Every structure is written in structure tokens, then in C-alpha cells.
Structure 1
Amino acid sequence: MEVIVARSAGFCFGVKRAVEEVNRQIEEGQKPVYTYGPIIHNEHVVNSLAARGVQVIQSEEELDAIHEGTIIIRSHGVSRKVYERMQATGAHIVDATCPFVKKIHEIARKAGEEDAALLIAGDPDHPEVQGIMGWTDGEVHVVKSTEQLEKIEKSLGKTEILVAQTTFNKKRFEDIVEIFTKKKYSGFVVNTVCNATDERQTEACEIAQKVDAMVVIGGRHSSNTQKLYEICSGKCKNTYFIETLVDLDPRPFQSFSRVGITAGASTPNSIIEEVIDYVRNEL
């Protein structure tokens, strides 16, 4: 069996940086060590860190009970309100927000100062988008589709600024930009889809078109992995979404001669290598 592995599979820059920061604080930081939300959307990694003493803060209200230790902000970032609430705890704050997300926070902040309307292409329930929304004091809308954008009325006398969640589907963002342009908003577009996301999605799409089956590895709650699965399944009907090797059913693979493998930005190399080794040597 021929196996094609995506070069872009695995940790992106922002995730790698955040996980390394947690490991550093475990060794050197003030204890106890907390992360605001799971450091990444991968249960394997989160459980491994928990075994080393890292505690996950699940809500803003839980911050009130913290008065010492280290709080690590994950790569998704947080809203200005949450950041200020963290500062009030007196704990040491380590900001591991992805620099590309920080860039969007700055755009949102300036939009609020200039009374511009901010349009975000993304998932309103995703922590990255919720954080972005919290950095503007002005009008803000989140859209996941062209249909949702069509329903938003232009803000009279206001500049509209369109940005995107860093892991948003590139093709879907391009469609939204097209509608934004057609509606003649009096503003501008900032393409904030991360280059690594773009590369990962493009490569996965190319591989999916030339294989009999596609394996997408990543956490079930990982937004970027879900989008990879969506893209791959649109090009290859035999696409399988797994978190670890345990989830892979070998039976369908007996009839495949070429298999593609990709992974989300929150998937450790150890899990990816285990799947690759099994598919190459056991199937």
C-alpha cells in the first residue's frame, strides 16, 4: 500500500509555542500551574499535562478562587475583560496567545476606537472568536456563511472591517469576501486566515483527490481538524476522522491501494507517527 503523508501535518507554530510554554512553567514557574481552558484541543496532551499537575480553568468565574501560581493563556487568546480579571487574581500571567491572533485583537481594538463595525468570519462558539469579540467596544458581527452575511444590514456612516478566525476555511472566507465586495461595504478586508492553516487545507485537498482513502488525525473538538475532515471528505468519500490509532478500523483498508494521512494543528507527532507506522506496515 502506498501512503502519502501531508508535510504540514501536526503542531502549528502557535500550538507548539503554547505547549512548550506550559512545559517550561511546569519546570520553572510559580505553582500551581493553570491553563485558561485546555491548552490545545487534544485530550491526549491535556491528560498528559494534568498528570504533571497542570489544572484547567474552565470558566471566567473560576478565576475568583485563584490568588497564586501561574495562569497560561492558550494560543486562542482571551477577551480584554478576561485578561483584566486574570490580572486581578495576583497570579503570574503567561500570555501564549498566537501572534497571528494577537494581530486580530489589535485590529478589533482599533475598530472600536474608530467606531467601525467589525465583521468576523468564524465560529461564534470558538474561544478564539470569543476572544476577538472582546477586544472591540464597538459593533461586531460573526458570520459562518455567505447567507449570514447577506442578512446583515450595512452600518450607516460606519466603516466595516472584515477579518477571519485564523483556522477558518479559506474557500469559505473567499466566498464571504466576494459577498462583502458585492454589497459595497464602506470598509476593507484583512485576510487573517493563518498561512499554516491555508497550507494545511490546500495540501489536504490535493492529497484527498488522488487517494482511495484519507485519514484525518486530531481532537474531536479541534476546529482546524474538523475543517480538514470537511475538506477531505468533500474530495474523498472514504475519509476517516480519528483521534488516535485506537479509533482506526483496519477492515475497510484491505481494499485500498493508496492512502493519504493528514493531521490537525493540535495533534502531537507521536500520535501521527504511530498511525503512519501502522498503516504502512500492518495494513
Structure 2
Amino acid sequence: MRVLVADKCGFCFGVRRAIEMAGRQCDTGKRIYSLGPLIHNPQVIERLHADGLTVIDSPDEAESGVVVIRSHGAPSSVIEELKSRGLEVVDATCPLVKRAQQRARELAGAGYRVVIVGQPEHPEVKAILEDIGEATVVENGPPKLLNAARRIGVIAQTTQTPEAFRRVVVGLSELDFEELRVYNTICSATVDRQRAALGLARRVDVMFVLGGRNSANTARLAQLCDATGVPTFHLETSAELTPEMTAGRQVVGVTAGASTPAWIIEDFVAKLESL
């Protein structure tokens, strides 16, 4: 059995940056918190917890010390609240997420009706919504209730697919409006991983996509691979791999989401090769 690994997979720049920033804070000996999981990978979060990082859901839970803002960002009002309570804030928001936040604020401030192509419950999207107060969030097709909007501004959740973003923009272009302003805020690393995964999926007999089940970009990789018709498994670690998944397969493909560390990928490949 041959095992092929996608040439673009695993940690992206924003995730690696957030983990390094949190790690440096853990070395200080202070109380360290992250407002929500720093990234969407349970195994990495467990390791960070062992190093001293405590995940909290609300600013009220931080008594003193340092609060690290997760890679998905947080509303500016929440960051200001943390600072006003005397807490030290380390902002590990991915720079590309910050760019999407800034574009949304610019559009809202200029009077555009903001449309976010993304998932309403994703923390990145929720932070933007809290920041600008009102927006329309869509995942696949154009929103139905924008006929009264004269000026529309569009951004994307950074882990969206270009195809979903394009469908929304094309659909919006058919509405009656005065102006449509579009900012493509999709992360290039996300696109690279999607293309690499698709290319690999078309060459193998079975595909494994590694990453947290709470990871939007990992789930999207699994959906894309599955859509090619190749049997696809979304797993978190090698502990979930069974011999039945590879039975009769000659060529096996492996990819991983942007929040999946190299050690999980390497361990998984080693177990595959031992079957």
C-alpha cells in the first residue's frame, strides 16, 4: 500500500503564530487564559492546557494575568473590556482574520449592507457580527432579503471556498442595487490546501482528512474530497484508524486541516504504513 500526503496540509501561518504566542506566555509563569479555544484542534488544546493555558468562555472568568485572544479573533468591545479590568491582552488573531474584520468595519461605517459569506456560528463570523452590529450571513447561495439594500458590501469567512464565495457574489449581482463592493478575504493558505487535497483525492483509492471535528476548514476539506467520489474519512488521530478503512486499497491519500500539527500527521502516516 502506497501512502501519499498532500503537499499543502497542516498548520498555516496564523495557527502557528497563535500557538507560538501562547507558548511564550505560558513560559512566563503568569496565569494564562485563552478566550475560547485558541485553535480548533482538541489535541493541541490539551497540550497547551498541560503547559498552563486555561480556556475560558467569558471575560468574567479571568481573575488576573494574561488573556490570549484566539486565532479566530474577538469583538473589539470584548478586548476593551478585558483591558479595562486590568488584564494583559495578547492578541493572537490571525492577521488575515483581522483584515476581514477591518473590511467589515469599513463597509458598515460607509453605510453598506454587509454580507458575510460564512457560517453564522463560527467564532470568526460571530466576532465580526458583534463588532459591526448587523450583517447578513450566507453559506452557499445569495441572500433572499436584500432587495431593499441600495449599497451592498461582501466579505468572506477566511476558511470559505472560492466557489461558495463566487456563487454568492454572482447571485447578488442579479439583485436591484446601486453599488456592490466585494472584498475577497479568503485565506490563500486555505485555498492552497483545498486545491492540494482535491488533486490528491483524484489520484487515490481512499482519502483521510485529519483535524478537529470542530474545525471548519478541516470539515470543508473532507466535503471537497468526498465530492470527488473517493471514500473519505475525517479523523482526529491515528487512534481512530482501523484496518477495515484501508482494506483492498492500493493508494491512500492523507491531508490535514490548517489547525492540525505535524506530529498528528506523522503519527497517522506511520500507523498507515504499519498496517
Specify if TM > 0.5: yes
Q: Which residue of 1 aligns with 2:239?
A: 246
Q: Which residue of 1 aligns with 2:9?
A: 9
- Aligned partners of 1:212 and 1:236 also within 8 Å: no
Q: Which residue of 2 aligns with 1:123?
A: 119
Question: Relative to 1, partners in 2 of residues 1:217 and 1:156: Cα closer, same or farther, differing over 3 Å?
Answer: closer
Question: Does 1:72 find its partner at 2:68?
Answer: yes
Aligned residues: CA RMSD: 1.5
Give the drift of 1:268: 0.8
Q: Which residue of 2 aligns with 1:218?
A: 211
Code of the residue aligned with 1:93 in structure 2: it is V
Segments of 5+ residues of structure 1 without an aligned counterpart are none
Q: Which residue of 1 aligns with 2:181?
A: 188
Q: Which residue of 1 aligns with 2:77?
A: 81
Q: Which residue of 1 aligns with 2:97?
A: 101
Query: 3-state DSSP class of the match of 2:173?
Result: helix
- Aligned partners of 1:217 and 1:272 also within 8 Å: yes
Q: Tell me, in whole angstroms, the C-alpha distance in 2 between the residues paired with 1:166 and 1:195.
A: 9
Code of the residue aligned with 2:192 in structure 1: it is E
Structure-to-structure mapping, 1:193-204, within 5 angstroms: 193-204=186-197
- Aligned partners of 2:158 and 2:186 also within 8 Å: yes
Q: Tell me, in whole angstroms, the C-alpha distance in 2 between the residues paired with 1:73 and 1:86.
A: 10
Question: Relative to 1, partners in 2 of residues 1:171 and 1:27: Cα closer, same or farther, differing over 3 Å?
Answer: same
Q: Tell me, in whole angstroms, the C-alpha distance in 1 between the residues paired with 2:154 and 2:182.
A: 5
Cα displacement string for residues 191-229 of structure 1 (whole angstroms, at most 9, x for unaligned residues): 111000001011111111121000000001001000001
Query: 3-state DSSP class of the match of 2:43?
Result: helix
Query: 3-state DSSP class of the match of 1:134?
Result: helix
- Aligned partners of 2:66 and 2:89 also within 8 Å: yes
Q: Tell me, in whole angstroms, the C-alpha distance in 1 between the residues paired with 2:62 and 2:248.
A: 55
Question: Does 1:171 find its partner at 2:163?
Answer: yes
Cα displacement string for residues 65-119 of structure 1 (whole angstroms, at most 9, x for unaligned residues): 4342000001100112212222222111000111111111111211222121110
- Aligned partners of 2:32 and 2:66 also within 8 Å: yes
Identity over the aligned pairs, expressed in percent?
39
Please say which of residues 79-88 and 34-43 is displaced more in the overlay. 79-88
- Aligned partners of 1:216 and 1:242 also within 8 Å: yes
Segments of 5+ residues of structure 2 without an aligned counterpart are none
Code of the residue aligned with 1:273 in structure 2: it is E
Structure-to-structure mapping, 1:155-166, within 5 angstroms: 155-157=148-150, 159-166=151-158
Q: Which residue of 2 aligns with 1:38?
A: 37
Q: TM-score, normalised by structure 2?
A: 0.95
- Aligned partners of 2:79 and 2:89 also within 8 Å: no
Q: Which residue of 1 aligns with 2:147?
A: 154
Code of the residue aligned with 1:36 in structure 2: it is L
Code of the residue aligned with 2:170 in structure 1: it is E
- Aligned partners of 1:213 and 1:236 also within 8 Å: no
Q: Tell me, in whole angstroms, the C-alpha distance in 1 between the residues paired with 2:196 and 2:36.
A: 30
Q: Which residue of 1 aligns with 2:254?
A: 261
Code of the residue aligned with 1:216 in structure 2: it is V
- Aligned partners of 2:5 and 2:255 also within 8 Å: yes
Query: 3-state DSSP class of the match of 2:267?
Result: helix
Query: 3-state DSSP class of the match of 1:7?
Result: coil
Q: Tell me, in whole angstroms, the C-alpha distance in 1 between the residues paired with 2:274 and 2:86.
A: 53
Match 2:138 to one of 143, 149, 156: 143
- Aligned partners of 1:3 and 1:259 also within 8 Å: yes
Code of the residue aligned with 2:31 in structure 1: it is P
Q: TM-score, normalised by structure 1?
A: 0.92
Q: Tell me, in whole angstroms, the C-alpha distance in 2 between the residues paired with 1:249 and 1:118.
A: 46
- Aligned partners of 1:214 and 1:236 also within 8 Å: no
- Aligned partners of 2:39 and 2:259 also within 8 Å: yes
